[in-house]
A and B are shown apart, each in its own frame.
Chain A
Amino acid sequence: MKGAFRQSMGWLHTWAGLVVGWVLFFMFLTGTLGYFDAEIDRWMQPERPLTAAAVAPAREVAFALDHLTKEAPEAARWFVGLSGDRSPDLRVFWRGPPGPDGARGKSGSAQLDPATGAPTRYRETGGGQLLYRLHYRLHYLPATTAYWIVGVCTMFMLIAIVTGVIIHKRIFRDFFTFRPRKGQRSWLDAHNALSVLALPFHLMITYSGLIFFAYLYMAPVVAASYGLGPDAQPTFFDELFERNGTSPPAGTPAALTAMGPLLKQAEDRIGAGAIRFLNIHNPGDAHAHVVIAGGTLTPSRAPTELTFDGTSGALLDVSNNRSAAMSTYQTLLGLHEGLFAGPVLRWLYFLWGLVGTAMIGAGLVLWTAKRRAKIADRLGFRLVARLNIGAVAGLPVAIAAYFWANRLIPVAIEGRAAWEAHAMFIVWAAMLLHAFVRPSGRAWVEQLWLAAAAFGLLPLVNALTTDRHLGVTLPAGAWDLAGFDLTVLATGLGFALAAWRIGRRRAQSERRADRAAWASAPSRPEAAE
């Protein structure tokens, strides 16, 4: 029985991984880049000032309210996001009152310069945020469709992890084992090492990934307690987040209380400089409420919230305690997002993500390495082999193309943000085509060299098109910007090394095949593909 169990788990592991491996590779790579979304945002808007001085929260709030009073005086809710570590802009958002038929009010938003309060005028770009969103929102698909695809793939990943742990023999004995240059064995070693060395991360990121849209995937559980009506889910979330503090507008106008004292009270409680955002419900109405949120970031995500009466300024409520279920939920999501991570931990998250991405890539290549001898001529094998190239080597090229497009598409072009993304997908499609058209071995080497060039030359493109290149950013100590160029350079070198070694090994095996062919003449050798 043990043997049959292991065999069936091995089968399940292989198929769960293979069927959605390429989507998972995409999700992992874009998600990993997402940990540096703010830094990538910075690099993709070189018009930003090189360094930005900190602005007092009271001033930022004043700027924001100026803008909001002008743009959306009749709004039901104003949101003010203070500038901070992960977002250099002052962000405002508003939602209008609900329509007569109960439809959600219209919304609007703006990014303001925290120093002047004026709307920012940087080049339009999806930035790092777009890359990050790709990993769960995909592209060119309606939101719910994307969430379902991503959810199914994540479930497959969970099964792959669980079965992987079940079938892995000698986890401890082989913990440090990696035997390079031994073909299939090396790929297995790599896949194993990468899986085990970051196993807590893989498990956490996968399970928490499912939790984000659990209300969708496991809708029957919500429906069982909240019914099937259209407001079942909104009611569930309102109850969960205890969003019953705000009352509907009174209809009588009343001046919004001064923000200064409220901000001071908040900072007294949660620490100076710790305020992150404000929500102002029914501004200008007698039933206005101001909720100030902030506090040190931890994995459990939820900020401390102080609720004030909007006209008198009286402190009404301080939220802090959450149920065990909510804490677990928030912590899982918080660990996934890693927003609490400082610079060191953020790099570690990035490392974990790369390990996960490489684990999936190694698994995909392992599948072909293991079966090449036996079924290399079958359609299924050829499909997998070619998709591997297009995904593992081609996707990085496409991502580099996204950055090239950011520098090369003229700033004034309408819709340039969308076109940056199109560039990425067009290049990816080209890489997939290339992978199917070229001989398999050569396709790998060519795409790896392409990736090496695409990343390695990016700092040069940066220098030729902007003044935010290494020559400027290194002396100025602008580490976010310099770090991007340096990382991209290192990535290019990494791909170059891989391309060189694989190219050399192919040339060696081709020479060996030629010698064998000559030695066994007069029979003609089979093509080495």
Chain B
Amino acid sequence: MIAVLGLVAGIVLGLVVQPTVPQWLQPYLPIAVVAALDAVFGGLRAMLDGIFDDKVFVVSFVANVIVAALVVFLGDQLGVGAQLSTGVVVVLGIRIFSNAAAIRRHLFDA
């Protein structure tokens, strides 16, 4: 319950405050969002599987975002930023899909 409230509170805060993102941070925002989505779906599936652990959730979220941002940053420095960013999104997307499939199986038996 607290988790859901936390999510809603964060969204409302973001919509109300509307923080301006600094220019250098802007390219990493989409990657951070995808990494966060991956952590959320993973946590949701863990909860439905009955093995949710909030420490693991926090660590997986923070680590995903940092690693994804690092990979994209490294790619930008080496000139393959767009390609690496695509690769990161692809892999995270696959994980999101497979977690979503497991969640769907739990919820709908389908």
Asked if chains A and B come from one complex, the reply is: no
